[in-house]
Structure 1
Amino acid sequence: MPKIVDRAARQEEILDAAVKVFARKGFAASRIEDVAAEAGIAKGSVYLYFESRNALLAGVFDSYAGKAAGVLAELGSGSPLERLRRLITGAVAMLAAHPDHARVLLDVWASNPPIDMAAVYREYRGAVADLLSEAECAGELRPGIGAGHAVVIVGAIEGCLVQALVDPELPLRELAEPIIQICVDGIRR
């Protein structure tokens, strides 16, 4: 009797293996054979799920984007600045929980990746800008705070991530509160 394989679970196993390999070796130096070996499957099995190395990278990126979208979906209710606080805390926690995903993204930032990383940044900046706009309407912000500050807030999160990736002694999760103190409390009226 043939073995029944759960396609979704196998695809997730391959993506998890790809994240580990890409984070360890870098995307440019990684091969499909490396991913297959990490997943404990034959090279041809990877091709049953992903047509190329670029498709595999796109799958890794989609997995990361899904995690990022989950953070945005869980902002809940409350004042705009309270939701911004939850966004920062959630984003830092998600990045700290998935450092290999972050390493892969850092690796491909400098290249010309076959993925739309700008779209994820636009989504995050848009969410932050919307919260800032709501906070302004509610009279919660100091004068002069606008959409440009959304770029700075996302940059603060990403900057802390990059530092934590290059210096493993830096506790990324513990940086959520200082980011909040500067990027939320610092703009409050």
Structure 2
Amino acid sequence: MAKKVDSVARRDMILRAAVRVFARQGFAATRVEDVAAEAGVAKGSVYLCFDSRDALLVAAFEEYAAQAQAVIQEARSGAGDGLERLAALVRSVVDMVAAEPELARILVDLWAARRQGEAAGMDVQAVYREYRAVTAELLTDAEAEGILRAGVGEGHAAVVVGAIEGCVLQWIVDPALPIAELAAPIVDVCVEGLRRGGAA
């Protein structure tokens, strides 16, 4: 049993090292040797846990997707009306990014690798579809509760997700941007702005 725990811990350590290296120098410029050096292990140890550099990126994506799914499930089952849960979703996504900055910074690599046909195990589109779906569900709930202004539709769900991701992308390009402080403005503009009696 101890050996299994050790192998799981080793895999996690190597994955964390890979995320740090990907965030620092980019996926395209990273070699397996770089990951091994960062983790303080032999190159062969990396290959015992991951078949390739692509497999490391896929594993990083899977971790990001799992965190995203947890945030989405919380929004679906959490307390409050539809707009309160949508505001909580926005805050949770921003908090997730702020808590895992290196993982968030490799999002650009994930997008690029997927467009180039690399790391085929990643379904980045599915993550965004799920974000849009839960946002649309929360807006539908808010409409049923009578708190949503007229004329709000599925397009608004894409805009809310786009506002979050746009802020994340700006922060990736310019790390001086205080990403942790942007949840409140996003909620103010993209959630409270949709409330009945709110800004049109």
**Is TM > 0.5 for Structure 1 vs Structure 2?**
yes
**Which segment is superposed worse, 160-169 or 91-100?**
160-169
**How far is 1:130 from its partner?**
0.7
**How far is 1:146 from its partner?**
1.1
Counterpart of 1:90 in structure 2: which amino acid? Answer: S
Q: Report runs of 4+ in structure 1 exceeding 4 Å deviation.
A: none
Structure-to-structure mapping, 1:1-189, within 5 angstroms? 4=3, 6-75=6-75, 76-111=78-113, 112=116, 113-114=118-119, 115-189=122-196
Distance 2:9 2:69 in 1: 21
Identity %: 58
**How far is 1:110 from its partner?**
3.1
Cα RMSD for the two superposed structures: 1.4
**Which segment is superposed worse, 171-180 or 106-115?**
106-115
Q: String of CA shifts for 1:94-138, please: whole Å, max 9, x gaps.
A: 011112112111133234242211011111111111111111111
Distance 1:137 1:63 in 2: 34
**How far is 1:88 from its partner?**
0.2
Gaps of 5+ in 2: none
Gaps of 5+ in 1: none
Q: String of CA shifts for 1:24-83, please: whole Å, max 9, x gaps.
A: 111111111111111111111111111111111100000111111221232312101110
Contact 2:61 2:110 in 1 (8 A): no
Q: Secondary structure at the match of 2:152?
A: coil
Q: Secondary structure at the match of 1:165?
A: helix
Distance 1:96 1:106 in 2: 16
TM value normalised by structure 1? 0.94
